[in-house]
Structure 1
């Protein structure tokens, strides 16, 4: 994940791999080399007959490819329909695509050569792999609330820990905002940073918020909101609204704060994330200068500088009950830092092939990491050599979140948000916006955050570079 110091520069979007790209023709690959040899060794009549057979095989292979591609599209369309409408798997009249493609292949290949049979069997295996993941959703997901107002992409959304119905957002427009979950109104905007605000985290027991920025600093500021702020009142200036919401809330004003309680330094480049360490008397920051820094909150001084990463740090997270922290990096690793002793220890987790965009603790002794290599891995802290579960996706993963009951919410570059359990079992996919309409984000989803409580029937918040924050209700189908 690229976090720039300038507000207009967002994440460099990665090209989407075409999973339906046409494979190399078996004729071109296998028989092409034979043709030149046969032309030199066979008589003209026999050579013409062989060429005709080659053309016939090629035509039949092309037909097989088209049929296989059509089946891929049908599987995807029906899969989206099942997830969108929440059909129960037992009541859904699903075509047995695996048997169907087997029958098609058997009929088409009855007189084909062994080489063609092998090639077509590969196509069948690919289709079978897709069919095996064709499952009905376990969760019902719907949008409850929308929060609009930022002028640029939103890097992060965070939920208050004190049980207050508020959320915080960090945006590339140089601001951080506090929102009322119920009304969708911005209650407070913070304009103390001079660069993109890359993270926002609430203090566990006080009305304080910690933000990090591309201006190389992290700020602690007072998050006391005025719930009784009358409509139309302005303390300093109005939060400028996006085009989509000007007509809806053009007369809504928000209080503005510009001065932090404490400013934390220690970095020579942008700070991608900052988080409270358990006990909240210390803060850890992760920066583009390849460093993580541990700060004392009361004095604002640097306690220690943590080195070891080879490339820029992308995120940091802390354990909910122990003095542990993880830092993720573009060097394809994440590190576990243990501050329970006077001298911190470090463990390096290697398993991704590209930038690790986030790594977070679960309420069990596990860590879940996401990467630009399109995988999410679940790790056991007692055995860091290899992951205990792996989720493979079709797009890069951004800042993920794990609920208290072990549901992983995964935000993607391709606007999707998918839900999995800690065993790697797919539970649901949240709807996304499309040309045909529909709900969800219409640009990259940069972050997701679970709420421990159902705030106004909302327990999942998502944000992205469409400048929107969405509040979702995610419920088990068994509870409906």
Structure 2
């Protein structure tokens, strides 16, 4: 028989279909034979109507089973979130009770001449009785003070929304300027009115995620760092009475001529695309940038394992700072002195001293995982946070051991220290906790289904001049929200 005729008379091979779900229908699909296949049929309609109908019915059943499975997974996730919420609340309660128990416990080693059972022996000496009574009074005062309620009131005041992706950082403008800035993974940076909650200006000049934002200490300039390997200096002039932002004279003229102006996240804010100055020199993502005191120079931190000192007017790279073994995660400058601290994934942070004629570098070791940030306090201390679930307070004059260590159940992100010395720590577990510089816990920001963040809290910031503002504390996260809080001491209320 000729080969061509043999190929025509040979039945086509049966193709088996394997589907993970709907096991009862697998055999039925596999047994479908294309015995009625005719070569003269149109290739676009080569299945008989009966078989096509049966296949559609089987796949419809499979689709229903997948929908049922999806619904079950959604319900399980909701139940899991509810259980996780209860567990976190129980952990908080257990932590409070543990702290209370520590405060209430007696330290009998402070008593003189204690018996084997831990109780002080009675002496006939009158002076010894006076000493014992004084110590008992001191211990009693400690117990009574432990029953005092919280000393800080935390309440949610305002919510800022409009970003289309997670927010990396929030920053507060200098005193007298009632606005905040945010840097987002949606490639934009925004300026918001603290009082109205509206977006006033949106910067779109970066070609990648905007990872940090800082306001100039004395001028209407903003510094942003991005994943496009650059940092930008751009001008932010805002007319507060009209609640509008004018990004530049060119865009203002364009608006007057009737040309199209992009609306911001809130649907009415003008946008800016052209920077005043562009800081280059890095070969990888720029994670953070900050101004040096005075604002004449800027510093940047990159994944290329270096930091850069730039001239803020010309953008020229003045000095490249190398020494870290891994990618840099954050950079911060001292508010008054020419000191810079850089954080890295190599578990260390470094102190760079640009004061004349010192120019020294100090390495701080104490964490066991990535150091996510390190910031200065006004008392010449450094507070560092890490993925090892700890926050440490250091003295600039002694880098061998921390003054205090704060342990937590979650990694710490970009923290902030208030002018009064309150450390606010944002966590991966959606919590924000407040501590003093001695490591004593002050409060935890409320977090319920109606208020608080629903995903990782990435950054926090304090407002220095809070007397005229309704919010004095801000937090942002990857739920695309910025929350404005009022954190007040009860003695100030």
Q: Does 1:197 align with 2:206?
A: no
CA contact (8 A) 2:201 2:244 kept: no
CA contact (8 A) 1:170 1:177 kept: yes
> Residue in 2 aligned with 1:261?
276
> Cα deviation per residue 1:181-240 (whole Å; 9 max; x = unaligned)?
000000000000000000000000000000000000000000111334479999611224
> Cα deviation per residue 1:396-450 (whole Å; 9 max; x = unaligned)?
00000000110000000000000000000000000124xxx24110100000000
Equivalences for 1:463-474 in 2 at 5 Å? 463-474=476-487
Q: CA deviation at 1:162?
A: 4.1
> Residue in 1 aligned with 2:464?
452
Determine which of 424, 449, 452 is the counterpart of 1:440: 452
CA contact (8 A) 1:79 1:135 kept: no
TM-score normalised by the chain length of structure 2: 0.67
CA contact (8 A) 2:300 2:309 kept: yes
Cα 1:303–1:324, aligned 2, differ >3 Å: closer, same or farther? Answer: same
Q: Secondary structure at the match of 1:478?
A: helix
CA contact (8 A) 2:170 2:460 kept: yes
CA contact (8 A) 1:325 1:337 kept: yes
Q: Distance in 1 between matches of 2:88 and 2:363?
A: 41
Q: Distance in 2 between matches of 1:230 and 1:440?
A: 27
> Residue in 1 aligned with 2:391?
376
> Residue in 2 aligned with 1:246?
none
> Cα deviation per residue 1:58-85 (whole Å; 9 max; x = unaligned)?
xxxxxxxxxxxxxx99954756999xxx
CA contact (8 A) 1:162 1:205 kept: no
Q: Distance in 1 between matches of 2:194 and 2:411?
A: 29
Equivalences for 1:10-409 in 2 at 5 Å? 76=91, 78=93, 136-229=149-242, 236-240=261-265, 252-341=267-356, 344-409=359-424
Q: Secondary structure at the match of 2:264?
A: coil
Cα 1:282–1:74, aligned 2, differ >3 Å: closer, same or farther? Answer: closer
RMSD: 2.8
TM-score normalised by the chain length of structure 1: 0.69
Q: Distance in 2 between matches of 1:344 and 1:395?
A: 36
Cα 1:237–1:273, aligned 2, differ >3 Å: closer, same or farther? Answer: same
Q: Secondary structure at the match of 2:310?
A: strand
Cα 1:346–1:256, aligned 2, differ >3 Å: closer, same or farther? Answer: same
Q: What number of residue pairs does the alignment pair up? A: 353
Cα 1:322–1:438, aligned 2, differ >3 Å: closer, same or farther? Answer: same
The structure whose RCO (Cα within 8 Å, separation 6+) is larger is 1
> Cα deviation per residue 1:118-155 (whole Å; 9 max; x = unaligned)?
xxxxxxxxxxxxxxx99853211001111110000000
Instruction: Give the ranges of 4+ consecutive aligned residues of structure 1 lying more than 4 Å apart after TM superposition.
Output: 72-75, 77-82, 133-136, 228-235
Q: Which has the larger radius of gyration?
A: 2
What runs of 5+ residues in structure 1 fail to find an aligned partner?
Answer: 1-71, 83-88, 100-132, 242-251
